[in-house]
Amino acid sequence: MSQTKIPVDLILSKLAEDAEKAQSRAHKASEVLLDDLDTDLAQTPYEVVYQEDRVKLKHYLPRTEIRYQTPLLVVYALINRETMLDLQPGRSVVERFLDAGIDLYMIDWGYPTRKDRFLGFDDHINGYMDNVIDFIREKHAVEKINLMGICMGGTFSVIYSALHPDKIKNLVTTVTPTNFDTKKGLLHVWMEHLDVDRVVDTYGNLPADMMNLGFLLLNPARLMIDKYVGFMENMDNKQFVENFVRMEKWIFDSPDLPGEVFRQFIKDCYQGNKLIQSQLEVDGQRVDLQKLTMPLLNIYGKYDHLVPPEACEQLVERVGSTDTEDLCLDTGHIGIYVSSKFQEAFAPKIAGWLKERDQIPKKKSPSRKTAANKPSAGLKKTVQKAKPSKDKAQPVTQPKSSRSRTASKATNG
């Protein structure tokens, strides 16, 4: 019986080859990491045309002829930053909208401070959002605008459109939770049992670091291990490194969440599931989904671990509109906006859908009350322009407005 020989020479040759490759990759990775990296976010030029307290309204400078009669306002979540839609040149939802000829606005919610802890749904929806929308309507002399909401910003947009259907022509919701009675997402399971009163009474505003830790724990293997292993394997690829750093900067550029917003979002939505049942109340007004009679496009991700399809897909069945479309894409919560594959399936779809519904009547009466003198808003309206910038608008300063409802809440709290 012959003895099996170990091919030592082949093994040593393979080890030498692998060591040489590793050394070459390490040298190239060192050059990439020590080189100047382009990791800036939100590089599409815009102006800040309206500001109230910490909230700013961005108006993006046109890249081509405006081909839509109706301007579009995008409302991002209060969690994380709206810069996700303009993460990098060439992979930007903002650029796609501008290239389609859309007159584009976006709300920047800013960074809440301790005094914002008492601002709830009413302050953000019937206050800031309503004032911003009235400003756009006044500027363009139109009765209605198009509204697009993202995640929690989509929930706010649904609520706003039900309370103010006379101001919204078309509604687009993306990865927007409206049905919270589901066990599919771990976040929904956690929130169902959260003692939100204790959290808010302890912290005031919900700290951004606490939210980020919670999101990482939803999928720790992928979000805390796999992505960094992937980074190590691609450190010699400059484009990969730049994209990785951009995403990390976006993830950890997280504002705190106003305490009363968090309290109502958890109690009335995650724990009470009132929105989809048309039982939610904001400032004493019931949010009746049957009042959503405008065209509705509802887009969400099949593999979304934060807002699963079960949290989104019931909306079109509950609204009063006869012009609805439900679109589920084979991607996750963020992939809808940044994946190169879905860049072609997302923004162009929305642009085309809006174009089909773009004909609008001009504003009927010039004597309509503005946001500044509406008794229900309780807010001061200040409009200031910033100089256009290729990177970002210069900060706009203004006296901070004092809200009577906020003061009342602070006194009673």
pTM of the shown model: 0.80
Torsion of CA 43, 45, 51, 56, to 10 degrees: -30
Residue 211 domain-assigned?
Answer: yes
Residue 9 domain-assigned?
Answer: no
Rounded distance, CA 356 to CA 340, Å? 25
Amino acid at 113: T
Asked if 300 and 349 count as a contact pair (C-beta separation under 8 A), the reply is no
Residue 69 pLDDT grade (very low, low, confident, very high; cuts 50, 70, 90): very high
Residue 215 domain-assigned?
Answer: yes
- Give the E-state strand segments of 263-393 in sequence order: 281-282, 285-286, 296-301, 324-329
pLDDT the model gives residue 401 = 41
- Does the active-site annotation cover 328? no
Q: Note down the domain range covering 357.
A: 46-412
Residue 318 domain-assigned?
Answer: yes
Residue 326 domain-assigned?
Answer: yes
Region 199-222: mean pLDDT is 86
For the chain, the residue count is: 413
Residue 119 pLDDT grade (very low, low, confident, very high; cuts 50, 70, 90): very high
Region 326-342: mean pLDDT is 83
Neighbours of 266 (CB within 10 A): 21
The residues pairing with 9 across neighbouring beta strands, listed in sequence order, are none
Asked if 170 and 295 count as a contact pair (C-beta separation under 8 A), the reply is yes
Neighbours of 253 (CB within 10 A): 13
Q: What is the mean pLDDT of the chain?
A: 84
Residue 28 domain-assigned?
Answer: no
Query: Is the pLDDT higher at 162 or at 407?
Result: 162
∠ at Cα 164 (163, 165), nearest 5°? 105
Tally the domains of the chain. 1
Alpha helices in 183-271 (DSSP H): 186-192, 196-203, 208-218, 220, 227-233, 238-251, 259-264
Residue 41 domain-assigned?
Answer: no
Task: State the CATH number of the domain containing residue 249.
Answer: 3.40.50.1820
Residue 81 domain-assigned?
Answer: yes
Residue 371 pLDDT grade (very low, low, confident, very high; cuts 50, 70, 90): very low
CA 404 from centre of chain? 28
Choosing from 151, 269, 312, 328, the catalytic residue is 151
Rounded distance, CA 185 to CA 151, Å? 14
Lowest mean pLDDT of 38-42, 174-178, 295-299, 409-413, name the range. 409-413
